[in-house]
């Protein structure tokens, strides 16, 4: 049975001009630690990308807990505050095997592209992650 494949390229954002490259295990470890303190209801991890690195934080207002970490990374673009569901971000990073990953981010209303660095030429792998709304 043959069918028409959907145009998956239509949902991949183009023009995400903010890019960050970071060591995958370093980021994954931080997500696991900070994620313990994020709300069970939404598990949002807030990330602030800047030329100083990535500041990650998780908080749970119901239990008055929070955690914050700053990670060094190579970043180019404007300062950007964005939230991701921690469990989804963790799953993406756990399924990559490369040492480093790159985030390509437009703004807090478009999907972020997460790709492993240094892939072979035979396979192209990318993940899209929709940001979560952050509380003011």
Sign of CA dihedral 59, 33, 78, 107: negative
Domain of residue 49 covers: 15-129
Per-residue pLDDT, 14: 82
Query: Domain for residue 28, yes or no?
Result: yes
* Structural domain contains residue 7: no
Report the number of distinct structural domains present in the chain: 1
Full-model pTM: 0.86
Domain with 77 in it: what CATH number? 3.10.150.10
Assess if residue 134 is contained within a domain: no
Are 116 and 125 in contact, with CB atoms under 8 Å apart? yes
Indicate the pLDDT class of residue 134, thresholds 50, 70 and 90: confident
- Examine residue 93 and state whether it is found in any structural domain, yes or no: yes
**CA quadruple 39, 41, 43, 45: dihedral sign:** negative
**pLDDT of res. 126:** 84
Mean pLDDT in the chain? 88
Q: What is the pLDDT of residues 35-84, one digit of tens each?
A: 999 988 888 999 999 999 999 999 998 888 999 999 999 999 999 999 99
For residue 68, how far is the Cα from the chain centroid? 16
Residue indicated by tokens 């990318």: 126
3-state SS class at 57: strand
């Amino acid at each position: 049975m043959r069918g028409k494949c959907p145009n998956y390229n239509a949902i991949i954002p183009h023009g995400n001009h903010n890019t960050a490259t970071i060591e995958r295990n370093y980021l994954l470890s931080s997500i696991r630690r900070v994620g313990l303190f994020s709300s069970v209801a939404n598990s949002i991890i807030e990330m602030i990308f800047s030329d100083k690195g990535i500041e990650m934080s998780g908080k749970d207002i119901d239990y008055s807990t929070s955690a914050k970490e700053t990670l060094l990374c190579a970043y180019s673009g404007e300062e950007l505050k964005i939230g991701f569901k921690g469990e989804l971000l963790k799953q993406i990073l756990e399924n990559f095997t490369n040492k480093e990953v790159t985030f390509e981010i437009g703004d807090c209303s478009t999907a972020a592209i997460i790709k492993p660095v240094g892939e072979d030429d035979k396979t192209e792998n990318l993940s899209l992650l929709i940001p979560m709304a952050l509380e003011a």
